[in-house]
């Protein structure tokens, strides 16, 4: 069983992932660090709205920010995203763990992708 504080912490991740704009921001950050203005320029919403989305992602621990002069740069925290989603999947779909191990070992019966 997951501790309540840990579950609440992970709930913040899933709340952050519930919004399509925030999911798109995470996808965009897969390519590497981006400035807040560059991120905002990719969306048909106001810069303050994008800033609020970035704040939600930061609060959930899914992005890091750093200052470079007058710019704020954001980076995806891949390990946080993978850990939360992976932990959830292992609780809900434990067979996924077996499949992952089979793929790593190269056991027969795996499908080529």
Lookup: tokens for 84: 């939360």
Phi, psi of 11 (to 5 degrees): -60, -35
Phi, psi of 68 (to 5 degrees): -135, 95
Residues 68 and 33: beta-carbon distance below 8 Å: no
**Spatial distance between the Cα atoms of 60 and 70, rounded to a whole number of angstroms:** 24
Q: Is the pLDDT assigned to residue 112 strictly greater than 50?
A: no
For the stretch 21-80, pLDDT in tens is 999 999 999 999 999 999 999 999 999 999 999 999 999 999 999 999 999 999 999 999
* DSSP letter (8 states) at residue 109: T
The two beta strands, 34-35 and 63-68, are unpaired
């Amino acid at each position: 069983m997951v501790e309540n504080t840990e579950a609440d912490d992970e709930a913040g991740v899933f709340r952050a992932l519930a919004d399509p704009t925030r999911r798109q921001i995470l996808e965009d950050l897969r390519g590497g660090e981006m400035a807040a203005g560059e991120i905002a320029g990719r969306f048909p919403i106001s810069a303050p709205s994008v800033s609020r989305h970035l704040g939600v992602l930061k609060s959930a621990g899914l992005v890091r920010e750093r200052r470079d002069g007058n710019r704020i740069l954001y980076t995806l925290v891949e390990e946080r995203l993978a850990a939360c989603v992976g932990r959830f999947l292992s609780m809900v779909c434990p067979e996924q763990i077996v499949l992952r191990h089979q793929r790593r070992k190269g056991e027969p019966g795996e499908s080529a992708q």
